[in-house]
Amino acid sequence: MNRIYLPVDIYFGENAIAQSGDNIFNLGHKPMIVTGRQSAKVCGAEEDITKLLERLDREFVIYNEVTENPKIETINQGIKYFIESQCDYVIGIGGGSPLDAAKAIALGAANHIEGDQLFDTKLHEKCYPIVAIPTTSGTGSEVTQYSVLTDTKANKKAGFTNPLIFPIVAFVDPKYTISLSQKVTRDTAIDALSHLLEGLYSNRRNQLIYPMIYDGIKLIVHHLKDLLLHPTNVKLREKIMKASLYGGIVIAHSGTTLQHSIGYPLTTEFGLSHGLANGVVMKYIMELYYPAIKDELDELFLHLGMSKEDFYKWLDSLDFSFDMKIHDDFIEDKILEVVQSRNMANNPFTVSTTQIKNIYYQFK
Ligand code: NAP
Ligand code: ZN
């Protein structure tokens, strides 16, 4: 049986806030805008939303302390500020980091919980409404029920899942991504590509969503390199943002797999961006999974008009140069974290520790 459940009101396209922003009117009286240091300002999204709030005669506060791979401490501070300011909904603006932080703050404030308690779904009874405005084309967090945080004490990434944190409204405007650097454009698009592929890899794969998967992957493979050459082309930005939105819808239904869990330690240990961590292992994961999901992947390559080898060449041409040498100690230290991560339940078959180690050994 397949099911689609997506309780997010999605407005996709240029000037989405100007055209449809009034739809937030009934969400509450005082939002807290949750964002990073720079990007919401640089890309114009913060100005669009503050103008809207002023026109709607709404007070608001801004919490712009969220950094990449958001830290639990930042969330705790945001929860405190939200409660003190008597806010009643959040507006997350940014890449996946501010959007995930916005979700955690809305949930933490509603239930008066913080820190490790955020991961305990038994303590999640309600959540303040969430508005999501993505400024990267990658995570699809604007349409997922996930929040991924970083536990700095344990030096590891940990997420939680709850339908309560699905945003109520998402404004997805490709023009906000024009200011992305070439590297963030590439890395985040590769994150979206991972999500789309994982919709085929996952043992929770959902055939109703296959058209989005095939279309989304096609958009990235056919247009990403062109976009990297023409970063201000909003039509190309729109294609990649659509793929990212599709990727979010895919993982909201099928979850992620080893493709993601194997990359988390590469981010915490070597500082690889989330998308790059997915990208460097992508062909090894595909090679591992291929025999188990040959039909789905062959169908994909038919849609793309390329062979698996052509796909690998295309990946190589994106030039994932990075400074990373993996030692045995790292593997021994992190293997348990990978094996125990919740995404492992979604693999197409039971993956052994030797198979995971063999992928890490590619980077010795
Ligand atoms: P990000 O960490 O949100 O942002 C990366 C960098 O890009 C930051 O320096 C940010 O600046 C900058 N930036 C963002 N938008 C920009 C714009 N329009 N113009 C210029 N610079 C911009 O990157 P991300 O890849 O989107 O998010 C990664 C996080 O999402 C990871 O923690 C990952 O685990 C998580 N994730 C969540 C889900 C989910 O479903 N919840 C799915 C996949 C991944 P500022 O610091 O100024 O903002
Ligand atoms: Zn991801």
The pLDDT tens digits of the residues spanning 285-331 come to 999 999 999 999 999 999 999 999 999 999 999 999 887 889 999 99
**pLDDT in the model for residue 154:** 83
How does pLDDT run across 171-201, given as a tens digit for each residue?
999 999 999 999 999 999 999 999 999 999 9
Ligand 1 pocket, CB under 6 A: 36-39, 42-43, 68-69, 94-98, 100, 135-136, 138-141, 144, 146-148, 176-177, 179-180, 184, 188, 191, 274-275
Quote the CA–CA distance of 18 and 22 in Å, as a whole number. 8
**pLDDT in the model for residue 152:** 85
Average pLDDT value for residue range 269-293: 96
CA–centroid distance, 275 to ligand 2, in Å, is 6
Q: Is the model's pLDDT at 256 over the cut of 90?
A: yes
**pLDDT in the model for residue 81:** 98
**pLDDT in the model for residue 159:** 87
Q: Locate the domains of the chain by residue range.
A: 9-176, 180-363
Average pLDDT value for residue range 6-28: 96
Q: Quick one: 282 exposed, middle or buried, by C-beta within 10 A (0-12, 13-18, 19+)?
A: buried
Q: Is the model's pLDDT at 5 over the cut of 90?
A: yes
Write out the two tokens for 215.
Answer: 């279309």
Average pLDDT value for residue range 58-81: 97
- Computed over every residue of the chain, the mean pLDDT equals 96
Lowest mean pLDDT among 154-158, 237-241, 271-275: 154-158
How open is the CA angle 51-57-61, to the nearest 5 degrees? 70
Average pLDDT value for residue range 211-225: 98
Q: Ligand 1: which of 172, 240, 246, 274 to mutate, judged by most atoms within 8 Å of the beta carbon?
A: 274
Say which amino acid occupies 288. L
* Fold (topology level) of 180-363: Dehydroquinate synthase-like, alpha domain (1.20.1090)
**pLDDT in the model for residue 28:** 97
**pLDDT in the model for residue 322:** 80
Whether this model's pTM surpasses 0.85: yes
| Percent of the chain's residues with pLDDT above 70 | 100
CATH number of 9-176: 3.40.50.1970
pLDDT band at 157 (very low <50, low <70, confident <90, very high): confident
Average pLDDT value for residue range 356-360: 97
Q: Which is the closest atom of ligand 1 to the Cα of 67?
A: 46
Average pLDDT value for residue range 110-123: 96
Write out the two tokens for 138.
Answer: 């990658």
Tell whether the torsion through CA atoms of 241, 89, 66 and 160 is positive or negative. Answer: negative
Average pLDDT value for residue range 229-239: 98
Write out the two tokens for 219.
Answer: 């958009």
Residues in the chain: 364
- Residue position matching structure tokens 């296959």: 210
Q: Which is the closest atom of ligand 1 to the Cα of 188?
A: 25
Q: Is the model's pLDDT at 348 over the cut of 90?
A: yes
